[in-house]
Chains A and B, each alone.
Chain A
Amino acid sequence: MRHRQSRRLSGRPLRIGCGAGYSNDRVEPAVELVERGDLDYLVFECLAERTIALAQQAKARDPQAGFDPLLRQRMEAVLAGCHGRGVTLVTNMGAANPQAAAGCVRDVARRAGLTDLTIAVVTGDDVTAMVANGPYRSIELDEPFDPGSVVSANAYLGADPIVEALHRGADVVITGRVADPSLFVAPILTALGWAGDDWPRVGLATLAGHLLECAGQVTGGYFADPGVKDVPHLERLGFPLAEITAEGGIVVTKVSGSGGLVNTATCTEQLLYEVHDPAAYVTPDVVADFSGVTVEADGVDRVRVSGADGRPRPEMLKVSVGQHDGWIGEGQISYGGPGAVARARLAAEIVAGRLALVGPVPIDVRYDLIGVDALHGGVSRPVGEPYEVRLRVAARVSTEAEAWRVAREVESLYTNGPFGGGGASTTVKPVLAMRSTLLPRSAVAWRVDYETV
């Protein structure tokens, strides 16, 4: 195996980019990063909380499925460019089936005529059998898991297996459930020679990873508010990269000429995104402390962040457990013109009356007037009557048949409800509740397998 990490930097900062912030993210910004970002590493972060549970269900239907549906497209777009430039890829697009994902990467590499490409596959995060049959309790409900309801259980691995893979010369590292920042922490520690128990350094690497992990969210995506916070060219938003020095300096930036912007405001929003106690951001690698972080401009589309700290990593690993939890039936219908809101409210009363008369009795039900109170209930009171409004009824029930009955009660407003209803739609979906539990680190045995094309 090669040890190629050390030859790259020779004094200049490490350059690490983020090519995706979620599974269905845009593909072209990653290509732009590879071609013009002068990167050492490109990371694709593609697993939201429930993505892996859905992937487990896909794998149950087809043993070759269960990895990210855009993996092939992404690899076709960037693999040759990365290989030619010596850019190492790290991704959790393996989801519930990292082995099959590696097969897909191998296939793309062969078709592209690439050789001398080492793919590392990280497994061991899948602890479904252990959680379904063990004495574990849901943190949220404080009750044991019903084995029959458990669809998936995946432990959040940290940076360790990726660090091992990178030290052994992997060009592509495919994982399943790994904590999002760890995908970045591993290359940072490896390239800069930082120790995994140098807690302040791991805290810094986690800060960089946290800022990068949602891709466009730090380069002006999810930020624009016309006239208040304007962002140029969101249609070709550039994805971020960080420059990190061996001394611990971190600058967040993007490829020059790409759309979007990087400034202290975009970085501060992302810094606190999905963070609870800023002094204790817990990952499998470290308890990071962002409470003293400062964010300062360092030129055009360049922001310097500093002041992160860290304390020893937790002994317990968080496990995401996907459980069957009933069904949701939903129906929608629109009303327009004068009196639209009153007719939509009458329609809602009719549906509520029907459910009381003929059932099913929902476990939970919600009546929304989209355009009036669907997002924040009474919080956002509209000024005046909207021209059009859409009634939405959503109910949680026990069975698929009941979910359809709720949905059809809305549809039947066509011929049985108020004047002028239009555009009815119905949706029924199974609920996959995500809950969590904790496992001792020692109970989760990860491994890394290698294959060279």
Chain B
Amino acid sequence: MKLRDIAHGRAGDKGDTCNISVIAYDRRDYPRLQREVTAARVRECFDGIVLGEIVRYELPQLGALNFVMTRALGGGVTRSLALDAHGKSLSSALMNLEIPDPPADPAP
């Protein structure tokens, strides 16, 4: 399944730094986000786009993660040659991440 099936998020930009939130629709899915959406997997997803570091912040009470990625926006909105100079669409790319299906419900 895709990350999009259990989570939503939004990308923001400040200078050349992009942050993307990943928020579970259901708080009970937060441990899955924690386990599956690691900084390493996010780096794979943005290979060739994010040139700096990726830091993950955890917000369990919101069921959310916040990824902060430096050197991610081609120099920032005012300098970037990218069609999406803000990098606003990067969150939708992350939602394409493949994650394992949940284990089947135990028999009643």
Binding site for B on A (CB under 8 A): 49-50, 140, 222-223, 225, 228-229, 265, 268-279, 291-295, 307, 325, 328, 364-366, 368, 370, 374-380, 392, 394-396, 431-436
Contact = CB atoms under 8 A, between A and B. Distances in A.
A274 B17 CA distance: 9
Contacts of B89: 375-376
A69 to B, nearest CB: 19
B83 A392 contact: yes
Contact of A269 (B8, B13, B82): B8
Given A374-B83, A375-B83, A274 B62 contact: no
A375 B93 contact: yes
Given A269-B8, A378-B48, A379-B45, A278 B59 contact: yes
B84 interface: yes
Interface in B43-100: 45-49, 57, 59, 61-62, 64, 66, 68, 75-79, 81-84, 89-90, 93, 96
A397 B77 CA distance: 17
Contacts of B78: 49-50, 431-434
Contacts of B17: 276
Given A50-B78, A265-B8, A275-B66, A377 B48 contact: yes
B8 A376 contact: no
6 contacts: A49-B15, A272-B64, A273-B10, A275-B12, A375-B84, A434-B77
Contacts of A50: 77-78
A379 B61 contact: no
Nearest to A139: B15
Interface residues of B, number: 39
B10 A368 contact: no
Contacts of B68: 276-277
Nearest to A271: B62
Contacts of B12: 272-275
Contacts of A228: 4, 8
A49 B93 CA distance: 25
Nearest to A367: B81
Contact of B81 (A275, A325, A395): A395
A265 B23 contact: yes
A370 B19 CA distance: 24
B82 A366 contact: yes
A394 B14 contact: no
A268 B66 CA distance: 11
Given A268-B23, A278-B59, A291-B57, 16 more contacts: A265-B8, A265-B25, A269-B10, A271-B62, A272-B19, A273-B12, A275-B12, A276-B14, A293-B62, A374-B83, A379-B47, A394-B82, A396-B81, A433-B76, A433-B78, A434-B15
B62 A268 contact: yes
B39 to A, nearest CB: 14
A49 B77 contact: yes
Contact of A325 (B4, B59, B79, B90): B79
Interface in B1-44: 4, 8-10, 12-17, 19, 21, 23, 25
A374 B8 CA distance: 23
Contacts of B10: 222-223, 269-270, 272-273
B79 to A, nearest CB: 5
B77 A365 contact: no
A87 B47 CA distance: 50
- Smallest CB-CB A-B distances: 6 pairs: A274-B12, A272-B21, A394-B81, A269-B10, A366-B81, A376-B93
A439 to B, nearest CB: 17
